[in-house]
Chain A
Amino acid sequence: MTIPKEKHVLVVFPHPDDEAFGVSGTITTHIKQGTPVTYACLTLGEMGRNLGNPPFATRESLPEIRKKELKASAEAMGLTDLRMLGLRDKTIEFEDDEKMVGMMTDLIEELNPSLVITFYPKFAVHPDHEATARAVVRAVRRMEERPKLHCVAFANNTLEVLGNPDTVYDITPVRDQKMASMKAHISQTAWMLEEMEHKLAQGDTETENWLTKERFYNYRWDDDFEKSF
């Protein structure tokens, strides 16, 4: 599937590196097509558990490191509108729900995106992913003219419940940029990338597929995750 031209794309995720694995190829492609892309990243991943082995970072030095990595990832994708929203890792679900919806509404009203990308509620695994997805869905639900909402889902039961993704982009043409985005988050991805590159070198097609295909579900308004909010 080729990636259709959009007016403006808004990507909302809670952690630096959330964009890298699932959507950095898509982001890069939109930017190459001349579409403005905004990435709103809610936290700096302050609670990340990877601090190096032996440790090169501490709980207190990690946020600055990850902020630099996030900026490097943005640069790798050619993304210039990076918003760091200043929440704390692992606390998003405990914030006031209406405040969260307000944050998302403000972003959407300011940017007027034709496409919003976030996680799929109930299929996003991490509590911050879920809380982010809920806030985005609620904000979009209230819009009179809703932008398209593409969601990333990776819970173990995703295929069973949601079926195959509605959209699969082959991002092979921007594979290098995607690699660079993943590598930018080296404090969190070093171990995983090493394993991945080993598999790719062996010609493992599953890994190649995982890397070059980016998968999205259209949010199903007719099967909304909640009756009301």
Chain B
Amino acid sequence: MELVEMKKLQVQLDAFAGKDVYLHLETTNGSYASHFNEAFFNAGAFIRNVVINYELGKVIGDSPHRVGLKLPHGWVYAQGITHYEMDEQGRLLLAGHDGTGKLAVALQISETPFSY
């Protein structure tokens, strides 16, 4: 993965607009957060291989970045995006890694389903 380059990422987001795409969206603090700090309120969400079709995708300039997808009847967004990659299978993988490198958020879109 590489650090997000705004302009390149915007072009890639545009390329998926108006198509049926599979979505992976995840936020996480890790399952051990409340083990190491019992006062920690551990919240997160995960969705994988739900089909969406967005009309507008946008990456915002502040770093870490926010990325939003406008749907005909709703929205998808993620914040904390630091890295991106168009993988060899043509899937757009966005991720937010915290200061120690740990994944905190992932937003991925693909024209074919992600594995299980």
Contacts and interface: CB of A to CB of B under 8 A. Distances in A.
B102 A49 contact: yes
Interface string A45-71: 001111111110011110100000000
Chain A, interface residues (CB within 8 Å), range: 20 to 34
Contacts of B100: 53, 191
A47 B101 contact: no
Interface string B26-69: 10101110010010000000100000000000000000000000
Contacts of A127: 31
A88 interface: yes
A156 interface: yes
Contacts of A191: 100
A49 B103 contact: yes
Nearest to B3: A54
Nearest to B102: A49
Given A55-B95, A125-B32, A60 B101 contact: no
Contacts of B24: 59
A128 B30 CA distance: 12
Interface stretch (B7-15, B72-80, B83-91): B83-91
A48 B28 CA distance: 10
B101 A52 contact: yes
Contacts of B101: 50-55
B97 to A, nearest CB: 6
A200 interface: no
B26 A53 contact: no
B102 A59 contact: no
Contact of A125 (B31, B115, B116): B31
Interface in A126-167: 126-128, 155-156
Interface residues of B, number: 27
A90 interface: yes
Contacts of B46: 47, 90
Given A90-B31, A125-B31, A126-B31, A58 B95 contact: yes
B17 interface: no
B97 A51 contact: yes
Given A51-B95, A90-B31, A125-B32, A63 B115 contact: yes
Contacts of A48: 103
Contact of B103 (A59, A61, A88, A156): A59
B28 A49 contact: yes
Nearest to B31: A126
Contacts of A52: 101
Interface of B: 1, 24, 26, 28, 30-32, 35, 38, 46, 83, 85, 87, 91, 93, 95, 97, 100-104, 106, 108, 114-116
Given A59-B108, A60-B114, A126-B32, 4 more contacts: A51-B103, A53-B97, A53-B100, A58-B95
The list of the 4 closest CB pairs from A to B, nearest first, reads A53-B101, A49-B102, A49-B103, A55-B1
20 contacts: A47-B26, A49-B28, A49-B104, A50-B103, A51-B95, A51-B101, A53-B97, A53-B100, A53-B101, A54-B101, A59-B26, A59-B93, A59-B95, A59-B108, A60-B115, A90-B31, A126-B31, A126-B32, A127-B31, A156-B38
